[in-house]
Amino acid sequence: MINKPITAILIGAGFRGRISYGSYGLKYPDRLKFIAVAEPDSRKRDLFQKEHNISNSNVFKSWQDILDPSVGKIADTAFICTQDRMHYQPAIKSLEMGYDLLLEKPISPIFEECNHISNLAQEKNRIVQVCYVLRFTDFFKKLKEIIDSGVIGDIIDYDHSENVSYWHFGHSFVRGQYKKKDESSPLILAKSCHDLDIMYWLIGEKPLTVQSKGFLSFYRPENAPKNAPKRCTDGCTHEKTCPWYAPRLYLSGEPLIRIGFHANSRFLRFLTSMIINHRNLMVFLSKYVKKLEPFLNWKDFPTTSLTTDLTYEGKMKALREGPWGKCIFKTGNDVVDHQIVTYTFPNGIVGTLRITGLSDLEGREFRIFGTKGVIRAHFRANEELIKITDFLTTRTKVVFNKGLSAGGHGGGDFGLLDSFVKVINGELTPEQAGTTNIQGALESHIMAFTGEEARISGKTLTIDEYRN
């Protein structure tokens, strides 16, 4: 059966909308076609319009305009990729207009709003795919398959760490959009509703109680080095000793290039080392070897969050004027920089999530203790590995091993879209496609809301009380 591409309107042409999902439409025009866009930032709007060849009549400045009744329903689906506190209203409006939705996570930082979207989707019989991209990676599919196969017996103790590297935490949760709880979401929801969804999915039960501890201990004004100015670009004398010195992070893309130090390939490790340690020589060589240029003038994440003008001047302007050039200790942030949450599940299972904003490597780590054996696994940008140790034989087997991962979230971004497209064009049912529909995604939100409440109150909370 040959299906036509599904059509979509994009609400919010920022990092996720334009880069993560827009790129899928460009790569697979036979599967997904963006036919309209709503975005207040004219540079991003124009870029998206050009990239997807959208007619002028289908370009709008905001979600209110694109969802105006005078425009009507113009595509199969609406992609809602605005910031956390701007999901609810466009989601409700587009469901009312009959769109199926691809909705960025978290659904909303307000529980009642999550419930309302979920109820309306059911009432209108519409699909709402929440962007839990991790479930669509080979790594997590394998982890689920192993647990469901029973090789480690029943899970008793589940230990999950979300290690956010020092630079990524600084970028998103200290300098960036998620630095203030009341303007976005608490850390446990913003960063880890994904992780809680994975915990819930792998354990396969709803949690009963929750406890939590967490603090903003480090990224605080009193920890700034002596005489540090408000901005790195104001002649900070700590350039050489501060890992968060903004021009290093954003002009050279050093954080992502450093991941290459851990690559399996000897050549990549050598290249990384040359770029970091012998920059002038590499700049000279790049005049002759054009393939080196992208490594020396970084035009990828995290720099793409700063500006769409990725020239040297454009990036410097963004650092001088925007939030990402501020001293990491003086940004006005208030979200915690580390938190531990412990849930109990039926049959005495305990699940713990640790989130830290001071990691070297970026990625998730797991120790899953069962009645017959143990899984040790990690999902990092530079390596995805799953090992199983069996109690009886005491043997450890590596059952999954991948090096540097290709694609956003280890292939999860595109995996999620593959599944969404197949569901919308009728090739698969939502169950066959393993979609993370809104009703299923509510559970991880309940876990996050109660986890945050438990942290603030210092109490053990019974989750059913909240659920009901």
Ligand X SMILES: NC(=O)c1ccc[n+]([C@@H]2O[C@H](COP(=O)([O-])OP(=O)(O)OC[C@H]3O[C@@H](n4cnc5c(N)ncnc54)[C@H](O)[C@@H]3O)[C@@H](O)[C@H]2O)c1
| Nearer Cβ to ligand X (282/355) | 355
Under 8 Å CB-to-CB from 149, ≥6 apart: which residues?
A: none
- Binder to ligand X among 62, 297, 356, 389 (CB under 6 A)? 62
Q: Cα–Cα distance between 319 and 233 in angstroms, integer?
A: 7
- Evaluated on CA atoms 360, 364, 370, 376, the torsion sign reads negative
Give the residue from 40, 42, 38, 36 showing the smallest Cα distance to 60: 38
Residue in the structure block whose two tokens are 């540090």: 228
- Binder to ligand X among 34, 63, 219, 366 (CB under 6 A)? 63
- Evaluated on CA atoms 132, 134, 138, 140, the torsion sign reads negative
Least gap, CB of 41 to ligand X (angstroms): 4
Binding letters toward ligand X, positions 16-35, x by CB under 6 A: xx------------------
The size of the interface with ligand X (CB under 6 A), counted in residues, is 26
Q: Determine if 13 is a binding residue for ligand X (CB under 6 A).
A: yes
| Nearer Cβ to ligand X (92/263) | 92
Q: Determine if 76 is a binding residue for ligand X (CB under 6 A).
A: no
One-letter amino acid identity for 175?
R
- Binder to ligand X among 41, 46, 138, 453 (CB under 6 A)? 41
| Nearer Cβ to ligand X (12/373) | 12
| Nearer Cβ to ligand X (13/188) | 13
Least gap, CB of 67 to ligand X (angstroms): 9
- Binder to ligand X among 7, 46, 71, 83 (CB under 6 A)? 83
- Residues 33/61, Cβ–Cβ less than 8 Å: no
- Binder to ligand X among 21, 39, 140, 250 (CB under 6 A)? 39
| Nearer Cβ to ligand X (255/370) | 255
Q: Determine if 48 is a binding residue for ligand X (CB under 6 A).
A: no
**According to CB under 6 A, which residues from 99 to 138 bind ligand X?**
104-105, 131, 133
- Residues 195/364, Cβ–Cβ less than 8 Å: yes
| Nearer Cβ to ligand X (12/363) | 12
Least gap, CB of 302 to ligand X (angstroms): 10
Least gap, CB of 152 to ligand X (angstroms): 28
Q: Interacting stretch for ligand X, rule CB under 6 A, among 12-20, 71-79, 230-238, 248-256?
A: 12-20
Least gap, CB of 160 to ligand X (angstroms): 16
**According to CB under 6 A, which residues from 151 to 190 bind ligand X?**
177, 190
Residue in the structure block whose two tokens are 């696994």: 377
- Residues 223/214, Cβ–Cβ less than 8 Å: no
Residue number with the shortest CB distance to ligand X?
A: 14
| Nearer Cβ to ligand X (211/359) | 359
Residue 384, both tokens: 């995805």
Rg (alpha carbons) of the chain, rounded to whole number:
23
Q: Determine if 38 is a binding residue for ligand X (CB under 6 A).
A: yes
Q: Determine if 195 is a binding residue for ligand X (CB under 6 A).
A: no
How many C-beta neighbours within 10 Å does residue 333 have? 24
| Nearer Cβ to ligand X (38/328) | 38
Q: Determine if 81 is a binding residue for ligand X (CB under 6 A).
A: yes
Least gap, CB of 343 to ligand X (angstroms): 22
| Nearer Cβ to ligand X (40/153) | 40
- Binder to ligand X among 12, 214, 253, 351 (CB under 6 A)? 12
Q: Determine if 15 is a binding residue for ligand X (CB under 6 A).
A: yes
Q: Is 235 exposed, middle or buried (0-12, 13-18, 19+ CB in 10 A)?
A: exposed
The residue ranges that bind ligand X (CB under 6 A) are 11-17, 38-41, 44, 62-63, 81-84, 86, 104-105, 131, 133, 177, 190, 409
